[in-house]
Structure 1
Amino acid sequence: MPKHSLRGRDRELALVRALLRAAADGHGGALALTGPPGSGRSSLLASAVLPGTTRLTVTGCPAEASLPGAAVHRLLACVEDGPAVLAELRRRAVAGPLVCCVDDMQWLDRASLAALAYAARRLGGDPIALVLAGDDDADDGLDGVDRVPLDPLDTTTAQRVLRDLVPDGLQGDVAGVLVEAARGNPAALVALAGGLTAPQRRGEAEPPVELPADSPLRVSHRRCLAALPPATRAALLLLAADESVLPERPVPVTRCVAAVEASGLTVDALQPAERAGLVRVDAGAVRFPRPLFGAVVYAEATLAERRAAHRTLTFSSPAREVWDAETVLRETLHVAALADGPDGKLAAELADAAPPEHALAARALRRAAELAADPADADRYRVAAAGHAWRAGFPHRARLLLRPGPAGLPAPAWPTAAPAPAPPVVVSAERELLLAEIELRAGVVADAYQMIRTSAEHTDAAVAPGTVMLAAEVLCASGERARFAAVLRGVAPHHEPCVAELLNRHFDGLSAMFGGNLAGAVPPLRKVLTLAGRMRDPAVLVRAAVAGLLIGDDAQAHRLAHRAAGLARDAGELATVPQALEIAASADLALGGFEAAVSTGLEGLRLARTTGQENLADNHLGLLAVLAAMVGDRAGCVARVHASRARSGVDVDSPSWALGAWALSLLDVADGRHQAALTRLTRTEVGRGSLVVQAAGVPTLVEAAAGIGRPDLAAHALRIFEAWTACTANPTWLALSARCRALLAPPDEAESHYVEALRLHVLGDSDFARARTELLFGQWLRRARRPAAAREHLERALETFEQFGAGPWAERAGAELRAAGAPVLRAAGSPVAKGPPSRADAVLTAQQRRIAGLVADGATNREVAAALYLSPRTVDHHLRNIFVRLGVRSRTELAKICRTGDCTDAAPHR
């Protein structure tokens, strides 16, 4: 069986195989695999094979659907009712386990299906597996049988199927066209890929968007269509024609009814299709539940029939004065479908009808470009359409629209005419800027750098804002930060005053930072954050959030990034959402919100893949690998690093590569492999392609260098890190800087740096970072032969690691505690209380007993935090758990319990 056959069906395949294994052990049962034609149900049935079993198969036959018992007769050579069928299956299973497979169950006669359903519900104690497959909308009468729906393949899986089908590879944008045209249907992917010519595979000719006429899936749909009455087929063509011009929007019921009646039919003509599940009416709209069927309805019609359908639709609309924006666009697209050649006036009307929603605007402007009589107008419409397509999450559509023509200039996606005159400079600059952003997120970063240079050379006031905002990301990702000012020299953004000031401050701040003037970068970048509060452009907010990360204002970066994501969702800018979530997840990480960072990163990864932004998806994978490494999840970390580097051509200077190196170095440090960690980080210059790693990776580098006794190897990086943290005034970053100084300091100076680090951690937000410092300080104190003082810090570290589920770090803290003379209940556990346990001893950890004792003495949460080197948020978390564990509801009740002697170890050791 070809490996593409079951791509994306791992869950369903596992269920089938589990059923077969259970049947082989004498615990049989049944499954019904349901999905549209081409969804892979027959391939799954073919996989229902287990050595040592007998296999029976039958496939539904439309010609016999009205013959009672026909299917059971072909399967078992008998015509019987349910009990008799069950008895026959059991008789055949006496010799060994039996696997019975039924395909196309929607074509089984009702008597056979009822008999099989009766048997299916009674196989729990028999060595029999019954696997059925059929349409997802069939009225099958299989109540009590587990159903397994076969959902459409997601974009990532569909791309993998194409790689299986075309081992030599497809030009990336061609693959995107095929994935979109197949709509998640595996058989459609097979048909579309199988019909490609060599020029189409290379991207030199337009790829197919319709199923080949002889493909099994189209033949199946054609038969289904042919079985319907002529009036029903005519009504379906009207619906398909209306969907074809605006597939992003459902067709309103009122519009569909008006069109059907305008054609001389009645709405009853749709009833046979409704009964067959081929059309569905819900939420005031009519739609094809199987979009590929609707596409076949349109494709099977003749040109004259299609034009007649579009003409009917234009004449059946309500009076123009009551049209909304969507109706205006739909009607104009129908008129465009009737156009016989270039029509500049109609092209302009389409451009004017383009709505704010990006997917719809891209469709309108692309058709306008095809109709434009003036090549300059066509170029302008095409670049605008590409911009909307990109922001809507369709990079392949955008790149095809921007494909250079024979003269190296923007031209139709598949040029057939002579070269057009050169477009205006502004169009060229917009084109290069847009291509740079697409390459940054979904292509080759080095190419993006060259495009930014070209855009900067040809830019004007309209393009300058985007050039300045994007250039920093491109130059960072390509490792060319030092050239930022030089590349953009002369680009003066002139825009509305507030935006212009933000862009100018952004440029000033980045120029200073990339030029090594960290202190000079902070004021303008902080001004960017202030100005961003008044902005609503998601792209501007994303770059402002990056400015927040650059100056260590992680909380503001977090707020701006989430605001950008929300605004982008509302505006339909799907490509921007995962970009914003990347910054939000980085901010969550810096703020110590591990669960939030993981949740945000996973959502960003899903959306990056959905919108074809593979580079961005790799960045999310890299960040998720870092999060896994921080809590010691080795398997999760390594899997994500490998996934982020799986694509060919991933640059070792890319952000994802740097994040992966940092993640693996964190695992190395956790395992005590300091030399390996040092090698990884120095090989990538501590994150050449990632400013996040450039800063956040330094503490790992310092710890690794200290671990092998070579502080000199981290001295330069630490000097830059100290200068940066000093500019941020962020207590968490300042605490990490103090920890680094402690690791590299002489023995007589280290303690003061550790104490300072812990003081700063209390003012910050990252409890995990504080626990890491506590562990390092505890280790240092134990080795300095001060075990009592060491235990205080190690116990706090252990408890925090356990809260985060960081097993390896908890085990390390537990080992250090044992070495410091403290009994530990388990390798990674809490200290064991000595003597008879009191009420608090029995249910509270050592840390919780300290907090309870201080609170009982009248300390506020902030005072407890200062005394125990915790954040107030952590104290509040502990206090809620203490109340629950002791069954108290107030501080007064807690004080009464503590006065009985249950919380005697509250005072911290000094």
Structure 2
Amino acid sequence: MTGQSTRGSAPLRYRAGPRRQTFAALLDGLRTDGGAHVVTGEPGGGRTAFLEFAARAFRAGPVWYVRAEPACSAQPHSGLRTLLRAARHFGHVPGDGTAGEVLLDILRAASARSPLLVCVDDAHLWDTASRAALGRVAARVRAADGVHRVGLLITVPGHRPVQGELAKLPVLELAPLMPGDAAGLLHDLTDGAVDPAVRDELVTEAQGNPALLLALAHRLSPAQLRGDHALPRPLADTGTLTAVAGGCPNGQQPDRNGLLLAVAAAMRATGEQDAEAALVRRAANGHGSRDDDVPPEPSEPPQAPELLAVPGGRLRFRSPLVGRAVYAGASPERRRAAHRSLAEAHPEPHGVPALLHRSWAAPGPDAVLAAELESAATGLTSGTPPALRRTAQVRAAELTPDDAQRARRYTAAAEQALLAGHPPEALRLLDAAGSRPAPPPVRGRAELLRGRVLLADGPVDDARESFLLAAGLLAEPEPAQADAAVLGAADAAWAAGDRQACLRALTHDVHDVHGTSVEAAVAGAFDLRAVGANTTGLKEAAAREAPEESSAHRGAAPAQPPVPPPTLLRDHRDGMRAVLLGRFDLAAAPLTRVVDRGRPATEPERLLRSAAAALMLGDVGAARRAGARALAAARTQGTAALEPKVLEYLAYAELRAGRHQLARTHAEEGLRAAHRAGQRNTAAHHHAVLALVASIEGARARVAEHATAALTTARRHGLAQAALLAQWAVARADLGEGRPEEAADRLGPLVRPGARRGHFAVWMLAVPCFVEASALAGRPEHARAVVEDFALWAGCGADPQAPAQLLRCRALLAAPEAADELYLCALDRHDETSGDFERARTELLHGKWLRRRRRLREARARLGEALVDFERCGAQLWARQAAAELRAGGVAPSGPGTGEPRRHGARDLSLLTPQQLRIARCVAEGATNREVALSLSVSTRTVDYHLRNVFATLGVRSRVELVRLVEQAEKTGAQL
């Protein structure tokens, strides 16, 4: 094996990844102080590219760049002559051991005028004499022994240890490319023409090796790169691996007893980067015995030690690529023999690793061995790691001669791949499951799983069709699975914003709890106006219907014919369908049962359904609790595929509760989890949440970044909900920056009636923002119709913020004599819910309205409250708006949102509103908050809120300070 690096073409440029600062510091040191370093890395790992990068970056002086010439390596001092020619020295090279001194003299002369960089690529291919001379020179350069301002970079392959004089030099090991850098390299090579799914598979297969990545890309046709044609299997074949590795030591001389192949085979079975040394030696030496009296082997392997490392009783290849090439380059007979020896030598002959070795030693299908593998992998007490379990199930499928059993086992393996966070692998296994005939139940389970994969990472319309196909195939043999498929189809249609498709899925042969179809009860399409007059809050309807449900379960005579208790899936299905049809009274009871049944549950799927039902009910507290428990359960059970979705529900629940910072925390974590699990659709939802949070915080660049990311996937995969939320975030950022016209133009098509209206379940959330933008832009007539629609939504009780937002919208559009009272009523409704941001927006708008009517004292108080609330929730951009309004009213605001330090001790009682003055006076008289609330006929929470604002406005920190201030005002005759 030569280990020669593949010389990079133009696209193979150096990418430092996370070690960029380390390499930059190294190059800076070479420019200023010189020094010698050995650069190593596995074959194809970018040593040549790094050296070329260093040579281009060195501008302080000349660069001598040389590569080894393998054809001349047998000639003494041939390598040294190559370097001297690069230095323009064509004199005689002595052969008596003083050649190094000649090179030192040349380096001293060249570096006297300016710094010098010498790059020697693949020095391991030099002749022995040249390597010895180079090592002595490098040692002198490193010690600055008579040689200054000379930088020396020497590359050698990393699959063998650095030997000889070079072993004493500092070693810089090039790490594999990070996935993002590998994807960027592939994008450059193909000019962006590679399909994302193909790109991800190439990046995974290359394992960070840039030369292998390029070789794989060059192997594919343009149609395969675009994803139009199937990829070859295996993707990295024997020829590609051995070409990049520079050959393969599979002959008798380098691997006399098969030690290298045994290590490679053992690593293939476990999926780990190393193998147990004792097991491999027993197998390689042909013992095949598990007795304790086998004599121990020496601590170092006797054959080809330079390719293997021996850390802590384990054997591993110094280069993972070489290990893959060793296995791929061996003949099928030798591979089977290696696996057979490992199976015989394994201490647990019926464990999954031993059975896997037996499976790879089998010459063809073996039904008995396949059954053993499946049993060992799925046993409850096996303790098998998920990755090994998945490998065993795949092998069991490959060994199965029966088509139906084969498809079932491929589907089971695909489910494990999905749970482990590998959707592309799951889809490949499902394609394998569908390649042979199978009975309807097997095909149905495969399509159900395909729908789940596509819902998280694919076109959601395709996911819906897979779910519906699964529901039809599973309706008779497995009705519970069919219910799950129907609900999955509804979830997919919901994500796509297709309400009719969602209803078609949910109303297929399903009846409500009273035995009549909901669509018959409603008899028409969903129309907020049609049901608005009869709509009651979901929570109130749940409370009204719960006693009837419980009495029916106790055996009392119900008003309607008794029916069996509905399952969790059926309840969720009935409640979701009723919500879509506008029958919120019928939706409350089944959704409440879903929430209640989730409380004692420990399965993350049930808890996730409970959180979704709570969000439809508007019970954000229950949604947050169920989501937190689902997250804990998913992490405990190791279901990586569920974590991103659970965090998505948690982030949305926090947004609905007005807890934007917590929403950002969950969304950031969810985004990382979604990327790890390969769930681009879920990642798009997290990007949308982060864009919404950034629009509150005033980070315009982050809004654009996350909104663009969300819209890119949303448009590609048909995610209407994520798309609307992302556009809403951009519009809210426009509004926060004082551009109401742009915000109104952006939101108008999404919330006004028509074909362009956004997602049916989300557009109303953006209505308050649109109404505000339209009013501030001088177009109130554009918003009047949507306010009436929003009023019906607010009456449903599904959004705790909506009633106060509705009053604010009406105030924006009302005549002056009615607006003031509407703003005050809106603020009272805000007291009933959490969420500083929405309250602060109402305060800001009221303050603006008061200031424009020259009611300056009231305006200053209201704007001061808005400023404090905006600062409290981190909405700095909006805080600056409030501060600007205060300055326009003649007040110089202070605090975090204004760039000025807040002045404590501002004693102007005139800044207080009449309500705040009354509360301050009661407190000064010694009344408790509860007593104040009783005397003023308000809630204790309202008193708490106003008292906090009194403290902030006056700059006091305690009741004692407030009493003193009020007493001082009375003495000076101030009006209270």
**Structure 1 and Structure 2 fold alike (TM over 0.5):** yes
Q: Secondary structure at the match of 2:308?
A: coil
Task: Pick from 474, 479, 486 the counterpart of residue 504 of structure 2.
Answer: 486
* 2:411 is the counterpart of 1:373: no
Task: Pick from 591, 594, 615 the counterpart of residue 657 of structure 2.
Answer: 591
Task: Pick from 311, 315, 323 the counterpart of residue 294 of structure 1.
Answer: 323
Q: Secondary structure at the match of 1:56?
A: strand
Distance (whole Å) between structure 2 residues aligned to residue 86 and residue 902 of structure 1: 88
Query: Are the aligned partners of 2:887 and 2:893 in contact in 1 as well (CA < 8 Å)?
Result: yes
Question: Deviation string for 1:495-522 (max 9, x for gaps)?
Answer: xx99962212111111011112234333
Distance (whole Å) between structure 2 residues aligned to residue 806 and residue 147 of structure 1: 49
Q: Which residue number in structure 1 is paired with residue 669 of structure 2?
A: 603
Q: Which residue number in structure 1 is paired with residue 62 of structure 2?
A: 54
Task: Pick from 423, 434, 437 the counterpart of residue 449 of structure 2.
Answer: 434
Task: Pick from 208, 212, 232 the counterpart of residue 234 of structure 2.
Answer: 208
The alpha-carbon deviation at position 532 of structure 1 amounts to 1.4
Question: Deviation string for 1:346-375 (max 9, x for gaps)?
Answer: 222222223376544432232222222221
Question: Deviation string for 1:374-411 (max 9, x for gaps)?
Answer: 2111222222222222222222222222228xxxxx53
Distance (whole Å) between structure 2 residues aligned to residue 666 and residue 120 of structure 1: 59
The alpha-carbon deviation at position 826 of structure 1 amounts to 8.8
The alpha-carbon deviation at position 635 of structure 1 amounts to 1.4
Q: Which stretch shifts more, 659-668 or 447-456?
A: 447-456
Matches within 5 A, 1:447-526: 447-460=462-475, 461-490=479-508, 501-526=567-592
Q: 1:20 to 1:605 in 2, by over 3 A?
A: same
Distance (whole Å) between structure 2 residues aligned to residue 909 and residue 217 of structure 1: 91
Q: Which stretch shifts more, 438-447 or 201-210?
A: 201-210
Task: Pick from 344, 347, 356 the counterpart of residue 333 of structure 1.
Answer: 356
Query: Are the aligned partners of 1:310 and 1:335 in contact in 2 as well (CA < 8 Å)?
Result: yes
Task: Pick from 32, 37, 40 the counterpart of residue 43 of structure 2.
Answer: 37
Query: Are the aligned partners of 1:557 and 1:587 in contact in 2 as well (CA < 8 Å)?
Result: yes
Q: 1:589 to 1:352 in 2, by over 3 A?
A: same
Q: 1:820 to 1:95 in 2, by over 3 A?
A: same
Q: Which residue number in structure 2 is paired with residue 407 of structure 1?
A: none
Distance (whole Å) between structure 2 residues aligned to residue 343 and residue 590 of structure 1: 56
Question: Deviation string for 1:207-252 (max 9, x for gaps)?
Answer: 33435536676434736x8899535x72232222122133169645
The alpha-carbon deviation at position 310 of structure 1 amounts to 1.0
1:767 aligned partner, one-letter code: D
The alpha-carbon deviation at position 473 of structure 1 amounts to 2.0
Distance (whole Å) between structure 2 residues aligned to residue 756 and residue 126 of structure 1: 80
Query: Are the aligned partners of 2:36 and 2:138 in contact in 1 as well (CA < 8 Å)?
Result: no
Distance (whole Å) between structure 2 residues aligned to residue 32 and residue 572 of structure 1: 42
Q: Which residue number in structure 1 is paired with residue 371 of structure 2?
A: 348
Q: Which stretch shifts more, 860-869 or 597-606?
A: 860-869
Aligned-residue CA RMSD (Å) = 5.1
Q: Which residue number in structure 2 is paired with residue 791 of structure 1?
A: 860
Q: Secondary structure at the match of 2:337?
A: helix
Task: Pick from 812, 819, 839 the counterpart of residue 888 of structure 2.
Answer: 819
Query: Are the aligned partners of 1:651 and 1:657 in contact in 2 as well (CA < 8 Å)?
Result: no
Task: Pick from 548, 556, 560 the counterpart of residue 614 of structure 2.
Answer: 548
Query: Are the aligned partners of 1:347 and 1:368 in contact in 2 as well (CA < 8 Å)?
Result: yes
Task: Pick from 343, 346, 366 the counterpart of residue 314 of structure 1.
Answer: 343
The alpha-carbon deviation at position 128 of structure 1 amounts to 7.0
Distance (whole Å) between structure 2 residues aligned to residue 560 and residue 589 of structure 1: 15
Query: Are the aligned partners of 1:3 and 1:164 in contact in 2 as well (CA < 8 Å)?
Result: no
* 2:332 is the counterpart of 1:303: yes
The alpha-carbon deviation at position 809 of structure 1 amounts to 2.0
Query: Are the aligned partners of 2:248 and 2:325 in contact in 1 as well (CA < 8 Å)?
Result: yes
Q: Which residue number in structure 1 is paired with residue 824 of structure 2?
A: 755
Distance (whole Å) between structure 2 residues aligned to residue 647 and residue 811 of structure 1: 33
The alpha-carbon deviation at position 731 of structure 1 amounts to 4.6
Q: Which residue number in structure 1 is paired with residue 728 of structure 2?
A: 662
Q: Secondary structure at the match of 1:5?
A: coil
* 2:853 is the counterpart of 1:769: no
Q: 1:234 to 1:637 in 2, by over 3 A?
A: same
Q: Which residue number in structure 1 is paired with residue 209 of structure 2?
A: 185
Q: Secondary structure at the match of 2:593?
A: helix
Distance (whole Å) between structure 1 residues aligned to residue 969 and residue 140 of structure 2: 68
Q: 1:139 to 1:685 in 2, by over 3 A?
A: farther
1:772 aligned partner, one-letter code: R
Distance (whole Å) between structure 1 residues aligned to residue 656 and residue 136 of structure 2: 60
1:452 aligned partner, one-letter code: F
Distance (whole Å) between structure 2 residues aligned to residue 195 and residue 32 of structure 1: 32
Query: Are the aligned partners of 1:68 and 1:112 in contact in 2 as well (CA < 8 Å)?
Result: no
Query: Are the aligned partners of 2:483 and 2:570 in contact in 1 as well (CA < 8 Å)?
Result: no
Q: Which residue number in structure 1 is paired with residue 526 of structure 2?
A: none
Query: Are the aligned partners of 2:594 and 2:609 in contact in 1 as well (CA < 8 Å)?
Result: no
Distance (whole Å) between structure 2 residues aligned to residue 869 and residue 904 of structure 1: 26
| Structure 2 gaps, min length 5 | 1-7, 289-294, 513-562
The alpha-carbon deviation at position 59 of structure 1 amounts to 5.5
Query: Are the aligned partners of 2:627 and 2:647 in contact in 1 as well (CA < 8 Å)?
Result: yes
Q: 1:472 to 1:161 in 2, by over 3 A?
A: farther
Question: Deviation string for 1:790-809 (max 9, x for gaps)?
Answer: 22232333344445554432
Task: Pick from 849, 873, 891 the counterpart of residue 780 of structure 1.
Answer: 849
The alpha-carbon deviation at position 665 of structure 1 amounts to 0.6
Distance (whole Å) between structure 2 residues aligned to residue 897 and residue 173 of structure 1: 65
Task: Pick from 9, 12, 21 the counterpart of residue 5 of structure 1.
Answer: 12
Q: 1:18 to 1:241 in 2, by over 3 A?
A: closer
* 2:458 is the counterpart of 1:443: yes
| Structure 1 gaps, min length 5 | 405-409, 413-419
The alpha-carbon deviation at position 558 of structure 1 amounts to 2.7
1:268 aligned partner, one-letter code: P
Q: 1:805 to 1:345 in 2, by over 3 A?
A: same
Query: Are the aligned partners of 1:83 and 1:119 in contact in 2 as well (CA < 8 Å)?
Result: no
The alpha-carbon deviation at position 579 of structure 1 amounts to 1.7
Q: 1:689 to 1:147 in 2, by over 3 A?
A: farther
Distance (whole Å) between structure 1 residues aligned to residue 264 and residue 836 of structure 2: 58
Question: Deviation string for 1:409-431 (max 9, x for gaps)?
Answer: x534xxxxxxx44x222223223
The alpha-carbon deviation at position 95 of structure 1 amounts to 4.3
The alpha-carbon deviation at position 874 of structure 1 amounts to 12
Distance (whole Å) between structure 2 residues aligned to residue 126 and residue 909 of structure 1: 83
The alpha-carbon deviation at position 829 of structure 1 amounts to 1.9
Q: How many residues in Structure 1 have an aligned counterpart in Structure 2?
A: 865
Distance (whole Å) between structure 1 residues aligned to residue 143 and residue 743 of structure 2: 58
The alpha-carbon deviation at position 342 of structure 1 amounts to 2.5
The alpha-carbon deviation at position 490 of structure 1 amounts to 4.3
Query: Are the aligned partners of 1:742 and 1:753 in contact in 2 as well (CA < 8 Å)?
Result: yes
Q: Which residue number in structure 2 is paired with residue 383 of structure 1?
A: 411
Which protein shows a greater Rg?
Answer: 2
Distance (whole Å) between structure 2 residues aligned to residue 254 and residue 27 of structure 1: 48
The alpha-carbon deviation at position 475 of structure 1 amounts to 0.8
* 2:409 is the counterpart of 1:401: no
1:481 aligned partner, one-letter code: R
Taking only the aligned residue pairs, the percentage that are identical comes to: 32
Q: 1:874 to 1:317 in 2, by over 3 A?
A: farther
Question: Deviation string for 1:823-870 (max 9, x for gaps)?
Answer: 135994277788xx87x99xxx999x9999999998989999989979
Q: 1:787 to 1:897 in 2, by over 3 A?
A: closer
Query: Are the aligned partners of 1:253 and 1:281 in contact in 2 as well (CA < 8 Å)?
Result: no
Distance (whole Å) between structure 1 residues aligned to residue 941 and residue 892 of structure 2: 21
Q: 1:358 to 1:11 in 2, by over 3 A?
A: closer
TM-score normalised over the length of structure 1:
0.80
* 2:255 is the counterpart of 1:230: yes
Q: 1:446 to 1:23 in 2, by over 3 A?
A: same
Distance (whole Å) between structure 2 residues aligned to residue 83 and residue 734 of structure 1: 88
